[in-house]
Amino acid sequence: MKAIVIRKPGQMILEDKKRPEPPAGFVRVRVKAAAICATDLEVLDGNIAASYPITPGHEWSGVVDAAGSEEDCAWVGKRVIGSNDVVCLKCDACRRGEWRYCSDFEEIGFKRDGAYAEYMIVPSYGLCELPDNVSFVHGALCEPLGVALGTLEKAGAKFGDTLAIIGAGSIGLCMLAAAGAMGMRNIVVAATTEKRLGIARQMGASHTIATEKYDLVEEMRKIHPGGTDVVIDATGIESCIQQSLKLPKKGGVVALAGYGRGKMMHICVDDIHLNNLRVIGAGNNWNQHKKAVALMAEGLVNIENFATNRIRLEKFETGMALARKRPEGFVKAVFVHE
């Protein structure tokens, strides 16, 4: 089978590999769509923990074509998406349903081979059926949508709450889609340039702020006087995080949903201390696939225009370059297989 392999940081190639066989408890999925995530660039650049050589890709959909054990045979032929969490299902964290905290946790696309290939191996306990009215491409987007749902849930966001999202990357835009569906209001999206703010407005953002032209904190005081209920940093950038802590109402929440690349950062602790802020880390989707797919199937979350570029696996260099440069109008590149 064809698979993209990052042999070591900086070296990405298309390889002909042996088609993997699923062990017991796992199934083999014939990949139909695999979206390129900014995190995959971090794997390519060696900025995030990964086991090289690795086939990246954690935003995927496909059809199950083989099962590792008898009890999973019912999955064969089904359209699916699924969790990337490979866990023991036995430890205390697993018993609480907190797979990400499993002592044996391994993530597909980072520690185990992922979706930039014709076939991939995934655990059957994380599978979720993809309804016929959700395309494979949209199915692959259930993963980042799930990150948004998980973040809003962890932040305690409620119907009628105000929201500010810093960053208009695909995670920022997924947050916007999810927040709109759950009835948050007066939603502001801020980004350095206007480049993606038009998309945010199309998707229903009440206000957008291009921070190269306007001061975020000042503008936000006009839009949400008294402060914002929930603030999400979807950038992982120091100056954005510093500003995010100045936006919430007293007792409000800041969710840090951007990867900081191991950087040490300065923040004003008193922003948190004096205003009794709750600051949470939000780096993954906490098993929200089922909810994400249901919202999409029922047409409640519209991220239809996210897959701006559909490309074949052979054109991986084009895909990665697009994800890195993010030209005007680009949101996500998705590898598609016939």
Cα–Cα distance for residue pair 113/314, rounded to 1 Å = 18
Residue from the set 48, 63, 73, 91 that interacts with Zn ion by CB under 5 A: 91
Q: Does 141 bind Zn ion (CB under 5 A)?
A: no
H/E run at residue 216: helix 216-223
Cα–Cα distance for residue pair 167/176, rounded to 1 Å = 11
What's the min distance (Å) between Cβ of 111 and Zn ion? 14
Stretch that binds Zn ion, among 49-57, 91-99, 295-303, 315-323 (CB under 5 A): 91-99
Of 58 and 207, the one with the shorter C-beta distance to Zn ion is: 58
Residue from the set 87, 190, 216, 247 that interacts with Zn ion by CB under 5 A: 87
Strands (DSSP E) found in the chain: 2-8, 11-16, 26-35, 60-67, 79-82, 85-86, 106-107, 119-123, 127-129, 162-166, 185-191, 207-210, 228-233, 248-256, 278-281, 307-311, 332-336
Residue from the set 64, 102, 121, 188 that interacts with Zn ion by CB under 5 A: 102
Q: Does 311 bind Zn ion (CB under 5 A)?
A: no
Q: How far is CA 31 from CA 118, 131, 140, 292, in A?
A: 5, 16, 10, 19
Q: How far is CA 2 from CA 12, 19, 40, 212, 314, in A?
A: 13, 9, 18, 43, 9
What's the min distance (Å) between Cβ of 260 and Zn ion? 16
Cα–Cα distance for residue pair 221/243, rounded to 1 Å = 12
Q: How far is CA 221 from CA 227, 228, 277, in A?
A: 7, 9, 17
Radius of gyration, CA atoms only, the chain: 20
Q: x/- string (CB under 5 A) for Zn ion, residues 23-52? A: --------------x-x-------------
What's the min distance (Å) between Cβ of 273 and Zn ion? 33
What's the min distance (Å) between Cβ of 105 and Zn ion? 7
Q: Does 237 bind Zn ion (CB under 5 A)?
A: no
- What are the structure tokens assigned to 95, written together? 């018993």
What's the min distance (Å) between Cβ of 285 and Zn ion? 9
Residue from the set 1, 88, 280, 311 that interacts with Zn ion by CB under 5 A: 88
86-106 burial, b at 16+ Cβ within 10 Å, e below that, comes to bbeeebebbeeeebbebeebe
Of 86 and 216, the one with the shorter C-beta distance to Zn ion is: 86
Stretch that binds Zn ion, among 102-110, 195-203, 313-321, 323-331 (CB under 5 A): 102-110
Of 88 and 223, the one with the shorter C-beta distance to Zn ion is: 88
Query: Residues in contact with Zn ion, total (CB under 5 A)?
Result: 7
Residue from the set 12, 94, 121, 313 that interacts with Zn ion by CB under 5 A: 94
What's the min distance (Å) between Cβ of 57 and Zn ion? 9
Residues that bind Zn ion (CB under 5 A): 37, 39, 87-88, 91, 94, 102
